[in-house]
Amino acid sequence: MSVTTVAPVPVSLPAPHALKGSTVVVIGGSSGIGLAAGELLSAAGARVVLVARDAARLEAAVARVRASGAGEVLGLPADGGDEQALERVFDQAGPIGHVLVTAGALGGGLLVDTPREQVQQAVDSRVWGAYAAARAAATRLPAGGSITLSSGTYLARPIPGVAAAIAGLGAVEGLTRALAVELAPRRVRVNTIRYGVFDTPLSRAAMGLTGDEDVATAGQASLLGRFGTAREAASASLFLMSNNYVTGTVLTVDGGASLA
Ligand SMILES: NC(=O)c1ccc[n+]([C@@H]2O[C@H](COP(=O)([O-])OP(=O)(O)OC[C@H]3O[C@@H](n4cnc5c(N)ncnc54)[C@H](OP(=O)(O)O)[C@@H]3O)[C@@H](O)[C@H]2O)c1
């Protein structure tokens, strides 16, 4: 990668208005944390491009995000692990300011019972999805732009049955540090959020929780007595996008789950 001169980066304090008018691509934006990020970004005045595979869910998410702000909201269906599809998404999105990747599943199975093919798709889509997004974004982001990836506290406190997925989380965190160094000459920042348990369709399905009461009961054992909301998870991404001096950081947002 040849790097020439870069434009000076404005020194800005982290504030939602720093994102006003900026275009943010959210890969994984039709549900959970990505959808909540879309709503917060739109409310902060950003132009939001939501990306996910299921077109119907994406359309519903676009309508929801439109209702939360005045800015333009686009929905572009694509598989985040498909590099060519992502290139098309970024071409369609136009000039971008920031990228958030929340797409990623926790495919699992016990080591001795689970052949590689069974876990490979989940690991590939997380690791190569992050890599592909970063590759597509790196040359399009301006100085001061950022890429924010997703990890989870299972990396610090593993549970049995998801070893390959946890290895994928570790790979994403490694990628974050490496790309933060590699893209620093372009003044593009790369960070990851290491999430604890947040109330989203993903966590409800993973824990077999069917309603709000189930979620509240299950969350009582957490240090703060509840699981986080998708909005609480998503707000961390706005901080990472808007603070121009944060890069190579894995920001843990877990309600203290790493401690107890
Ligand atoms: N919620 C938690 O408690 C928690 C804890 C730790 C880590 N995390 C991580 O945080 C991230 C977001 O989780 P969440 O709870 O918000 O999940 P979610 O509610 O299931 O939302 C995931 C979103 O990503 C999209 N997606 C999945 N695979 C994709 C792909 N290959 N290409 C494009 N879009 C894709 C989904 O839409 P389609 O299926 O239609 O594509 C959906 O919009 C995940 O990486 C998850 O592992 C979450």
Q: What is the pLDDT of residues 9-41, one digit of tens each?
A: 655 444 557 899 999 999 999 999 999 999 999
The DSSP element (H or E) to which 57 belongs, if any, is helix 55-66
* Cβ atoms of 253 and 193 closer than 8 Å: yes
54 occurs within a structural domain: yes
Written as six digits, the tokens of 132 are 């592909």
189's CB contacts (< 8 A; 6+ apart) are 144, 145, 146, 147, 180, 183, 240, 244, 246, 247, 248
Average pLDDT (101-123) is 91
Give the β-pairing of 98-101 and 73-77: unpaired
* Position 59, amino acid: E
92 occurs within a structural domain: yes
Domain, as residue range, for 50:
16-251
The residues lining ligand 1, judged by C-beta closer than 6 Å to any ligand atom, are 27-34, 51-54, 57, 79-81, 102-104, 106, 125, 129, 150, 152, 195, 197-198, 200-203
Report the pLDDT value the prediction gives residue 76, as an integer from 0 to 100. 98
Query: 12 vs 111, which has greater pLDDT?
Result: 111
203 occurs within a structural domain: yes
Q: pTM surpassing 0.75?
A: yes
Q: How many domains does the chain have?
A: 1
Residue 229 reports pLDDT greater than 60: yes
Separation of first and last alpha carbons in the chain: 43
63 occurs within a structural domain: yes
2 occurs within a structural domain: no
Closest CA to 96 of 30, 32, 150, 26: 26
Q: What is the pLDDT of residues 61-77, one digit of tens each?
A: 999 999 998 899 999 99
Report the pLDDT value the prediction gives residue 1, as an integer from 0 to 100. 46
CB atoms under 10 Å from CB of 148, counted, come to 27
Q: Distance from the CA of 31 to the center of ligand 1, in angstroms?
A: 7
